[in-house]
Structure 1
Amino acid sequence: MGEKRIDRVIRDLLRTQWLVRAPIGLYRAGLGWIFGRRLVMIEHLGRVSNEPRYVVVEVVDRGRNRIVVASGFGTKAQWYRNLKANGVAYLSTGRARRVRAHVHLLSPEDSAAALGGYAAQHPAAWKRLKGAMDAAAGGDAKIPLVEFTPPREGD
């Protein structure tokens, strides 16, 4: 199977709603630790409904009191748009459940720099992820990053 075809298969799998939503039930049941430190569930509020929404995404970078994730489908992803609109987020990762977090949307320059670091640390994963996102975007995908840190005073 050629690389372009593999990228298209991954892209199609990422568009399969039941498949990408399956981890949400496990996180909500307190079983997020199954996925280790590479994934995180983000609880956010709908822009219009103000109802809780959930998404599980891959962690690009992690530090003390800091998690950075990628919006593989760009700025049009619903969860990204919701965070941009209201900045409300709770994270579940490992054994930590529903921890309030401050949301910071990284600039395109900061996103590119962080993704360069991710590519260096995880070259095989980056190759597949970038290929699938490029296939979904129909060209060179622009992948914005979101940084989560502990809430600030007044958050």
Structure 2
Amino acid sequence: MEIIKRPPPPTGVRRLLLRAPIHLYRLRLGWLFGSRLLLLEHIGRVSGKQRRVVIEVVEHDPTDGSYVVCSGFGTEAAWYRNVLAAPDTRIQVGLRTIEVTAHPLATDEGGEFMARYAPRHPRAARRLVRFMGFSTDGSQEDYREVGRHLPFVRLSPRARVQP
């Protein structure tokens, strides 16, 4: 695995296209994405305003209801920095809205998640790795190494308070 060059966040028309799924969630059409994508609603660390981003789900744990996501643009992504500053947030998966707490994962955990993700979604993994500026031979160990360079976050449901 080698790092080629991480691309800058998208701008212009490309940014508009990548943000289009947010509007589908607003129209209650999030179910079109199944459980592959989620809408993360978070608070801007500087503005204090509510922000939204649609992110691919790396892994879902049905036993505890948590979702693992990854910041493809690294630690500089606004949503990633925002959830570190204010970890209590909300996600929407399909038609369900869930109050969650964001927990950054250790480097080795990220590597394991990426190694499990790649065989489940081989074409998506190859495109994602290339898009993020990495070169890989496609081996599980290479994907594990890529995962060690990316920030992963677990979004765990908050316990509901019984009245």
Give the TM-score band, short-chain normalised.
0.7 to 0.9
Structure-1 residue corresponding to 2:91: 91
**Partners in 2 of 1:24 and 1:82 — Cα distance?**
18
| C-alpha displacement of 1:107 | 1.1
> TM-score, normalization: structure 2?
0.78
1:144 aligned onto 2:162: no
More helix by share: 1
Does the Cα contact within 8 Å between 2:70 and 2:151 map onto a contact in 1?
yes
Give unpaired runs (5+ residues) of structure 1. 1-7
State the SS of the aligned residue for 1:130. helix
Q: Deviations over 1:45-101 (max 9, x none)?
A: 00011110000010000121011111000110000000011113210111113x210
The 5 A counterparts of 1:1-150 are: 15=11, 16-64=14-62, 65-97=65-97, 99-134=98-133, 142-150=149-157
Q: What percentage of residue pairs aligned between the two structures are identical?
A: 39
Q: How many Å separate the matches in 2 of 1:106 and 1:116?
A: 15
| SS of residue in 2 equivalent to 1:50 | coil
User: Distance in 2 between the 1:18 and 1:100 partners?
Assistant: 27
- Asked whether the equivalents of residues 110 and 150 of structure 2 are also in contact (C-alpha less than 8 Å), the reply is yes
> Which aligned runs of 4 or more in structure 1 are off by greater than 4 angstroms?
11-15
**Distance (Å, rounded) in 2 between the aligned partners of 1:153 and 1:107:** 27
Count of paired positions? 140
State TM-score, norm by structure 1.
0.82
Could you say which residue in structure 1 is the equivalent of 2:138?
none
**Distance of 1:47 and 1:13 partners within structure 2:** 18
RMSD: 2.2
